[in-house]
Structure 1
């Protein structure tokens, strides 16, 4: 870890939080991730070894606590870690306003993970609704979203459930919808989103997802 040798609170905070992937891990924990795999799913590209190291450092500094139950391990932020929500919110607001989204930012695995995190559990149908996403920018891959209360799940393999809807779109369109740069009616009208399934579900689909909390800060 970097040591700036300065008593300044910004310098001391940076020694812990400005390490690669650390803010992403904290963001995922703030978004409800509790297991190692859930945290890693929201951080495509991080290695198992590096995620383990970062979690150990955060635990050692009191930012999170690890709980072992049998063979299962869960992670949750402490009061110290929860206090970072304001820090991450400020970073998100600043980035949404000042930084452009470039093509290399549109990792399909992350875009769909972020889409899942915007599911409004109060608006989805009771039981389990399975939506298969076909992304035009990653045609060889399929992703299934299992919409259910209290938490939805994203899978990269068939879950065994019958598919209720198929959504054909691309990563850039999903981002534009998240950030309110595009409306669902416009996306459907222009063919940027195609929904296949029962009319009742295709009509409801757009109401199941919230917009990004940073949408209002986009320049």
Structure 2
């Protein structure tokens, strides 16, 4: 009986697809290519993926020789890409560049997730334009339920932390606007200035932080890709 997971073709495309084309696999690889190594951090990058399915996909990638699992600091298991996994970097990024180039922006903006957006912002934020002191930036999305409305990025000594509950530090800058507006900026579909002038974003607090936000925020790795129309 033919394996339901196999295409039954002796073809490199078919064989690669059997490993990479199962649901969520490419997104797990995306997170690992961004430097994520621990299970709980991987979950933050794919928040709608169940822990059981994530565990299953990681084991599948281990068996395929794409991922290596080994005890890391304090004995916590860390997942790292093998040379075969690293070789997938241009392929996975290629998916993203193609999507940014060809998928209609209004369709992509229907699938908004504050935890994923903030997690992505946390790892791409550039601390160099910020003052050398600790800086706390609060993001407010008024249209969301109260438990998902407020997020804090704390930058201290070049280290960026994301908090979903108030960390208790004095807030230097508050950014208020819709999740759609902030996602548009993050994906390079709009600028901070455009959204502020249109009244879709409001920046309150440290004037220097507000003025330099476009520089320190950083953008999605795919934001620079020019959108095309088919």
**2:9 corresponds to which residue?**
6
**2:207 corresponds to which residue?**
199
With structure 2 as the length reference, what TM-score do the two structures score? 0.86
- Distance in 2, Cα, partners of 1:185 & 1:195: 10
**1:84 corresponds to which residue?**
88
Do structure 1's residue 168 and structure 2's residue 176 form an aligned pair?
Answer: yes
Do structure 1's residue 178 and structure 2's residue 186 form an aligned pair?
Answer: yes
Contact 2:66–2:81 under 8 Å retained in 1: yes
Q: 1:158 pairs with 159, 166, 171, which one? A: 166
Displacement of 1:99: 1.3
Unaligned stretches of 5+ residues in structure 2: none
- In angstroms, what is the RMSD of aligned CA positions? 2.0
Contact 1:17–1:23 under 8 Å retained in 2: yes
- Distance in 2, Cα, partners of 1:121 & 1:86: 27
State which structure, 1 or 2, has the greater radius of gyration over its C-alpha atoms. Answer: 2
Aligned residues: 219
Displacement of 1:150: 4.9
Mapping for residues 37-56 of structure 1, pairs under 5 Å: 37-56=40-59
Distance 1:138 1:205, change over 3 A: same
- Distance in 1, Cα, partners of 2:122 & 2:101: 23
Unaligned stretches of 5+ residues in structure 1: none
- Distance in 2, Cα, partners of 1:123 & 1:62: 40
Contact 2:130–2:209 under 8 Å retained in 1: no
- Distance in 1, Cα, partners of 2:133 & 2:79: 27
Contact 2:141–2:177 under 8 Å retained in 1: yes
- Distance in 1, Cα, partners of 2:9 & 2:160: 44
Q: 1:15 pairs with 15, 18, 27, which one? A: 18
Contact 1:124–1:148 under 8 Å retained in 2: no
Q: 1:97 pairs with 83, 98, 101, which one? A: 101
Distance 1:109 1:82, change over 3 A: same
With structure 1 as the length reference, what TM-score do the two structures score? 0.90
